[in-house]
Amino acid sequence: MVRTRKERKAENTIKLQQPDRSGPTGATLLELAQERKLFEEADRKQGKRRPKEDDDDDDAVIPPTVDRVMETILWTTSLAMLHFTFDLLVQRQYAMEVSWSQIVTRTVQAFAVFFLLFYVLHPHSSSPVLLPGLPLRYQNHLRQAIFFATSIYTGCYLIYITNEFGYMAILKRSPPLGCLWIWSVLELNLPLAVLSLACAAGFLFQRGYTIG
């Protein structure tokens, strides 16, 4: 018997049914976890781990004194390298034979001096007091005054010796003076740093010196 297209289509059509809304018949994963007290066990394990993590965090904190020493070493190393560069450039400027042993010796000596100066004068949270007895609010002003005076003196004196003294005096004095001048200006706040450089420039033109 020949079937029509509609009859074949009706046979292949899937009958629609309503979904089963009766819910799960067995225990769910949440109920199984509650029965076996897995959540409570996880909380106990987490509670045991937290004190160890807190102890690790406490151990990772760097003591203030160690942080101050590390900062001093970092800055002092940079200043010593700058001193090494200035010392080498001055010798090259006067076409002298470079004595590496003397340069290294002077660099090590400069490192020791800069370390002491930086450790005492540079502000740090672990030691904000520079002068005992002075109120804390004036400690930073005292530091700024010291660096301001140092920057003016070293800058003007460096300009003076490079124009008035012989090359031997320049060889010995210009590298440490240059380092102290740069460090002092860096320690100043912006207005005082600009004023310090303006004073050095005024001294240069007032004395009739030239650069180069």
Taking CA atoms, 141 is separated from 60, 145, 190, in Å, by 34, 6, 14
Rounded Cα gap, residues 111 and 80, in angstroms: 5
What pLDDT score was predicted for residue 95? 80
Tokens of 15: 């009958």
pTM reported for the whole predicted model: 0.70
Does the pLDDT value for residue 79 go beyond 70?
yes
**For the chain, domain boundaries:** 64-206
Other beta carbons within 10 angstroms of residue 147's beta carbon come to 23
The predicted-structure confidence for 32-46, as pLDDT tens digits, reads as follows 556 556 556 666 767
Dmax (CA) of the chain? 127
Asked if the model's pLDDT at residue 3 lies above 60, the reply is no
Highest mean pLDDT among 126-130, 152-156, 206-210: 152-156
Q: Quick check: 80 and 111 in contact, CB under 8 A?
A: yes
For range 73-87, the mean pLDDT: 96
Do residues 200 and 159 lie in contact, with contact meaning Cβ atoms separated by under 8 Å?
yes
pLDDT of 158-203, one tens digit each?
A: 999 999 988 888 888 999 999 999 999 999 999 999 999 999 999 9
pLDDT in the model for residue 142: 96
